[in-house]
Structure 1
Amino acid sequence: MNTVLERRFPATDMSWGLVLILVAIGVPRTVLADLEVVPPNSGLAYYVLALAPFVVWLAVALARRSRRPFADFVVVGVLYGLTLVAIHQALWGVGRTWGYRPPAAAFEFADRFGPAWYDIAARGYTCGVAMMIGIGSGLVVAVIALIAGRVRGRADQPA
């Protein structure tokens, strides 16, 4: 009997469990960097937290056989982007009490709008950047997974 985590995630050839793990491993960096526990570009801990999830994504992309390698990582990227949006927005509401400061670029962007649209523009900017990071990361790994699958397919064919 298949558990929910073993079933295939919609639009992918990955299990729910694998997709959730690939997305979840990026969460610690996001939370810790937003709260400035491990500030961006602060040293080895930050870089391990920032890069390890993508190393795991690449390892999965290179090692795993899939009928939908491109879709697999586009979906993972979109979901990762959505976690970034959710975390940034949740911490935005907490305010500076826990150390979170929304990016200055969001406020510079929002300054172009009137007071009625300021908060929406700042939050929208942050959401847009988060989704571009997630989708962009997913697309890069998706292309690598697609290439790896094609190379693997050629290697499997008799000469």
Structure 2
Amino acid sequence: MSRPRRTLGFSWPVLAGLAALAVPRLVLHDLDVIHEGSLVNGLLVFLPPLCWIAAVLWRRPARPFLTVLVIGVLYGVFLAAGHQLLWDTAFGGATPTLGGNLADVDPAVQRGLMRGAAVVSSLVTGTLVGAVTGAVAALLCRVVTGQPERTDDPGT
């Protein structure tokens, strides 16, 4: 068993797959198909982290908080990449710009700053979602009785 799998309870492809559960909301939101406050949006917001918790409760990794934190960081990477790929579509040509004293900054520099801020924001968001969800998962692993880490399936 590899060290990451021993520590996190899942292989890297499975961790990435769990993080990718949140990608449909990113795409649908950036394409303006779903909107804040709708039932579908709510489901797409909360179901992936609930799946992360369920996976950790099922698998019982040695470090559940770290496992879900890693999933959250991977989710942040997917967020950052997705927002960059869908940038022009999401803003419909009306890319955000700097204002006030910075309104006269070269447009190319403004684009770089705005895109960079979006990347940082995505990484922070994913990490925070992973941390909060990981804390819940770790608490539930202590409260809900279950078997220790399962190692019966070498493919996961």
Normalised by the length of structure 2, the TM-score is 0.74
Counterpart in 2 of 1:45? 40
Q: For 1:124, what is the secondary structure of its paired residue?
A: helix
Q: Is the alpha carbon distance of 1:149 and 1:34 closer, same or farther for their aligned partners in structure 2, counting shifts above 3 Å? A: same
Q: Is the alpha carbon distance of 1:13 and 1:64 closer, same or farther for their aligned partners in structure 2, counting shifts above 3 Å? A: closer
Q: One-letter code of the match for 1:74?
A: L
Counterpart in 2 of 1:36? 32
Q: How does 1:94-133 map to 2 (within 5 A)?
A: 95=88, 98=89, 100-101=90-91, 107-108=97-98, 112=102, 114-115=105-106, 117-133=109-125
Counterpart in 1 of 2:61? 66
Counterpart selection for 1:81 from 70, 76, 81: 76
Counterpart in 1 of 2:128? 136
Contact 1:39 1:46 (8 Å CA) reproduced? yes
Q: Which runs of 5+ in 2 are unaligned?
A: 148-156
Count of residues paired in the alignment: 144
- Say whether 1:91 aligns with 2:83: no
Contact 1:34 1:88 (8 Å CA) reproduced? yes
CA-CA distance at 1:78 after TM superposition: 0.7
Q: How does 1:139-158 map to 2 (within 5 A)?
A: 139-151=131-143
CA-CA distance at 1:40 after TM superposition: 3.0
Counterpart selection for 2:21 from 25, 42, 47: 25
Q: For 2:34, what is the secondary structure of its paired residue?
A: coil
| C-alpha RMSD of matched pairs (Å) | 3.3
- Say whether 1:15 aligns with 2:11: yes
Normalised by the length of structure 1, the TM-score is 0.73
CA-CA distance at 1:14 after TM superposition: 1.4
CA-CA distance at 1:67 after TM superposition: 0.7
Contact 2:72 2:130 (8 Å CA) reproduced? yes
Q: Is the alpha carbon distance of 1:66 and 1:46 closer, same or farther for their aligned partners in structure 2, counting shifts above 3 Å? A: same
Aligned mates of 2:99, 2:71 — CA distance in 1 = 28
Aligned mates of 1:77, 1:23 — CA distance in 2 = 7
Q: Is the alpha carbon distance of 1:64 and 1:124 closer, same or farther for their aligned partners in structure 2, counting shifts above 3 Å? A: same
Q: Is the alpha carbon distance of 1:110 and 1:140 closer, same or farther for their aligned partners in structure 2, counting shifts above 3 Å? A: farther
Question: Equivalent pairs: percent with the same residue?
Answer: 32
CA-CA distance at 1:150 after TM superposition: 3.3
